[in-house]
Chains A and B, each alone.
Chain A
Amino acid sequence: MNIWIEQQRALIDFTLASLARRKARNLGLLAVYTLLVFVLASVALFSHALRHEATRVLADAPEIVLQRLVAGRHDLIPPGYLEKIGNIRGVQKMEGRLWGYYYDPVIKANYTFMVPSAGGVERGTIVIGAALERVRGLALETGISFRAYSGKLYSFVVADILPHDSELVSADLVLMHEDDFRTFFEFPAGHYTDIALAVANPQEVRNIAAKLAAALPDSRPILREEMLRTYASIFAWREGIVLAILSGAILAFAILAWDKAAGLSAEEKREIGILKAIGWETGDVIRMKIWEGVLISLTAFLVGYVAAYLHVFRGGGVLFEPVLKGWAVLYPRFQLAPEIDGLAVATLFFFTVVPYTAAVLVPIWRAATTDPDAVMR
């Protein structure tokens, strides 16, 4: 066993000395390789963590949200709808939700105005999300005025600020009393934005949604399952877009790596010829080249992955921030919980280490099995 270890160490020594002879070329390759692993791993870690977070946070979202459509557009729920739904068997709880958007020209941002169904906000006061507090420079007990779409100005006092910990769901929220909401938006009495439903038996959600669609043909039920699936697909799509943009770089690297690994230079061929002439066996030459492939690709994978981990979970994914922010002024500050997809890491490992090591082997096998005299000429 000791002899075997000593032999491998000698082979590694030889490989490293051989790599050091073409230092600039090999270091350049290692740097590009590491950078590519870093970008791919960052995308995979970021998307998976965000997907996981969205699924956990929205796990108890309303089971069904019922919207009404008029001429293909979302419209208000008129009085009488709740009564019709009440007749459908299996509906355990239903609540008209009041929410809407408000564009604030001061900071050019959209807020989500909402009435909490459980109440808890006094008239004339509002409870705001942490991003809003930050961007508008608000504090507790300070006043703020909003110009309604009717042109009238309404003033509110900030009674509370939603916890910073929940910024991912509440960054732009403005919670207010129902009466204030209806006055501000001139919302007709008895109308709602949509309806949230709870179903007695979770197995029956789809049946009830079908019954709702049949009883109220102008409505559109949205299931919780769809909301969660939307988020799963949003981040899968985003991951795909980044990969599509990166595909050019990935292909360029594949060509570079293939050229480096598969095409032997005359110098390398001569080196193999000399090694064989002085008594190296074909197996030794191949083992040496395997070490070369493993050392380069494993280093690139390990350094690239660890850098990606630090970038996403310790550095807040600073490189992705501009892409994520879009044109939004209000953007939640959050640090993702590091949910790591083991399968994705294993796949990344497989596709970075194995192909390069394999690509190194093919030409070496050809060169190492030919006559040293022919190779050296």
Chain B
Amino acid sequence: MNHRPARLVLPLLAVALAGFAMSFVDAALLRERHAVRIEASHALAKRLELTDIALFTEARYTRHPSQADLHAPFQDHPLALEHFPTGSLIAPPRHEYLDRTTARAD
């Protein structure tokens, strides 16, 4: 049996630590490579006036969550439950509640 197990374990720990540090270096390099792709998406979104990303295309309120209203998933029939799994995985849109003035007191 090895009487100085630290000789084996400490270098292994150093390798893990180097791996951790390398992940940040790798991230910086990858970010540079991805910058072109992100810029292409950004330019297209600007040109086409897009409002949402195409992650969940199964229903209209998951394709464009920012354009949907709070109850969009539940409008199909009374007591409707949400059909799509995405609906439970994404949050409802965060709409602003703008003050609307009415002619008469509410």
Residues of A within 8 A of B (CB): 9, 12-13, 16-17, 20, 53-54, 56-62, 65, 67, 69, 72-74, 95, 97, 101, 109-110, 112, 114, 116-118, 129, 131, 162-163, 165-173, 175, 194, 196, 206, 209-210, 213-214, 217, 220-223, 225-227, 229-234, 236-238, 241, 295, 298-299, 302-303, 305-306, 309, 313, 323-324, 326-332, 335-340
Identify which of A74, A116, A162, A209 contacts B98 (C-beta below 8 A). Answer: A209
Q: Is the interface of B mostly helix, strand, loop or mixed?
A: helix
Q: Which residue of B lies closest to A210 (CB)?
A: B98
Asked if A209 and B96 make an inter-chain contact with CB atoms under 8 angstroms apart, the answer reads yes
Asked if A223 and B53 make an inter-chain contact with CB atoms under 8 angstroms apart, the answer reads no
Asked if B54 and A238 make an inter-chain contact with CB atoms under 8 angstroms apart, the answer reads no
Identify which of B31, B48, B57, B95 contacts A109 (C-beta below 8 A). Answer: B57
Question: Once the chains are docked, how many angstroms separate the CA of A150 from the CA of B49?
Answer: 28
Asked if A226 and B49 make an inter-chain contact with CB atoms under 8 angstroms apart, the answer reads no
Residue B55 interfacial (CB < 8 Å): yes
Asked if A110 and B58 make an inter-chain contact with CB atoms under 8 angstroms apart, the answer reads yes
Asked if A227 and B63 make an inter-chain contact with CB atoms under 8 angstroms apart, the answer reads no
Residues of B within 8 A of A (CB): 3-6, 9-10, 13, 16-17, 19-20, 23-24, 26-27, 30-31, 34-38, 40-60, 62-67, 69, 71, 75, 84-86, 88-91, 93-96, 98-101
Question: Once the chains are docked, how many angstroms separate the CA of A53 from the CA of B30?
Answer: 14
Question: Once the chains are docked, how many angstroms separate the CA of A222 from the CA of B52?
Answer: 12
Question: Once the chains are docked, how many angstroms separate the CA of A108 from the CA of B30?
Answer: 35
What are some 28 contacts across the A-B interface (CB < 8 A)? Answer: A12-B5, A16-B5, A58-B51, A61-B45, A74-B67, A117-B48, A163-B40, A166-B43, A167-B54, A169-B50, A169-B54, A170-B41, A170-B44, A170-B48, A171-B57, A214-B101, A222-B67, A230-B93, A230-B94, A231-B65, A236-B91, A237-B89, A241-B88, A313-B26, A313-B27, A331-B55, A339-B27, A340-B24
